[in-house]
């Protein structure tokens, strides 16, 4: 009798576990569908004419006559290649500088002792809570005073430093034992060599995570280039897509085709670094 009761309880627990897993998977599938459908619609709209894009009765994912020439027109109707080159240059330089400055500053805050370290770190990190719109006007005035208006260098100077990047790297560095640094110092290594030979090789997950965040944010930035870049030859791809919007109408098929093209580098970067991404996020969140 007792065995039957325990068996029933065990089976009931197993059924509850299975039901719980099924419920979680259903929720994940619904969330995934909600996230993917807009991208599928964008792909579908990129091979449609303006009239077909918003045709809902009936709605078709693939039109009878796909307009593949949308992907040709986007290169000939506007100087998209120039915009892509500008965006690639800006994104690569900003990403490299953020990785350099963030990892270097984070090493100082995590592994070195100096006066008012905690106060300085708190003051720097607190800038994350301040929206960029609050200080974008003073920044613009400063860049104009430096003669950097309408130059990619203005964007590079403004985005070369990241409080979020310093915070992310510091959290990761704190998970690396201090004994490694102490042993290196005993062996006569300078702080610069410790940073280059020990800390950077061990911080690939955090660097990969920061690379993804920085690359995506810089590549997709619209407001910054809109404020600082006026000359057409210096504009980025996000500003270029706006050129498909005329005074009275917008060429949505071309906009969607351009958006698909602009997504390719972001997807490639994520696919190349995804194996480090989850590890980096998890490891940088171990210490508060």
User: What is the per-residue pLDDT for 98?
Assistant: 92
Mean pLDDT of 121-148: 84
Cα-trace Rg, the chain: 25
pLDDT value, residue 285: 46
Listed ranges 110-114, 119-123, 131-135, 270-274; the one with the highest mean pLDDT: 119-123
Per-residue confidence (pLDDT) for residue 136, from 0 to 100: 84
Mean pLDDT of the chain: 82
- Under the banding of pLDDT at 50, 70 and 90, the label for residue 11 is low
Structure tokens at 162: 């990241």
Nearest to 280, CA basis, from 179, 202, 181, 164: 202
Predicted confidence (pLDDT) per residue in 40-49, tens digit? 888 888 888 8
Q: Is the pLDDT of residue 92 over 90?
A: yes
Q: 9-13, 86-90, 129-133, 147-151: which has the minimum mean pLDDT?
A: 9-13
Quickly state the pLDDT bin for 287 (edges 50, 70, 90).
very low
Cis, bond preceding 184 (omega within 30 deg of 0): no
**Higher-confidence position of 278 and 64:** 64
Q: What CA–CA distance (Å, rounded) separates 176 from 171?
A: 10
Confidence at 288, pLDDT banded by 50, 70, 90: very low
- Binned at pLDDT 50, 70 and 90, residue 275 comes out as confident
The Cβ of residue 236 has, within 10 Å, a number of other Cβ atoms equal to 29
pLDDT in tens, 225-261: 888 888 888 888 888 888 877 655 678 888 888 888 8
pLDDT for 278 beyond 70: no
42-75 b/e (C-beta count within 10 Å ≥ 16 → b)? ebbbbbbbeebbeeeeeeeeeeeeebeebbebbe
Mean pLDDT along residues 168-197: 83
What is the pTM assigned to this prediction? 0.81
């Amino acid at each position: 009798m007792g065995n039957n009761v325990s068996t029933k309880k065990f089976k009931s627990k197993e059924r509850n576990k299975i039901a719980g897993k099924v419920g979680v998977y259903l929720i994940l599938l619904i969330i995934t569908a909600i996230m993917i459908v807009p991208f599928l619609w964008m792909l579908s709209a990129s091979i449609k004419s303006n009239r077909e894009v918003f045709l809902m009765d009936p709605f078709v994912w693939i039109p009878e006559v796909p307009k593949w020439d949308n992907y040709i027109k986007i290169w000939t109707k506007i100087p998209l290649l120039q915009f892509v080159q500008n965006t690639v240059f800006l994104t690569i330089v900003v990403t490299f500088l953020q990785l350099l400055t963030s990892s270097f500053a984070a090493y100082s805050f995590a592994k070195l002792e100096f006066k008012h370290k905690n106060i300085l770190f708190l003051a720097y990190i607190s800038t994350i809570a301040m929206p960029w719109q609050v200080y974008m006007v003073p920044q613009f005035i400063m860049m104009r005073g430096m003669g950097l208006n309408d130059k990619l260098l203005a964007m590079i100077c403004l985005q070369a430093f990241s409080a979020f990047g310093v915070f992310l790297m510091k959290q990761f560095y704190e998970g690396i034992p201090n004994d490694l640094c102490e042993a290196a110092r005993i062996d006569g290594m300078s702080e610069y060599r410790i940073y280059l030979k020990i800390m950077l090789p061990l911080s690939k997950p955090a660097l990969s995570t920061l690379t993804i965040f920085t690359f995506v944010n810089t590549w997709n930035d619209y407001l910054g280039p809109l404020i600082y870049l006026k000359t057409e030859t210096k504009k980025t791809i996000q500003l270029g897509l706006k050129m498909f919007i005329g005074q009275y109408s917008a060429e949505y098929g071309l906009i969607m085709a351009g958006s698909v093209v602009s997504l390719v580098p972001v997807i490639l970067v994520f696919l190349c670094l995804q194996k480090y991404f989850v590890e980096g996020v998890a490891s940088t969140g171990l210490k508060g």
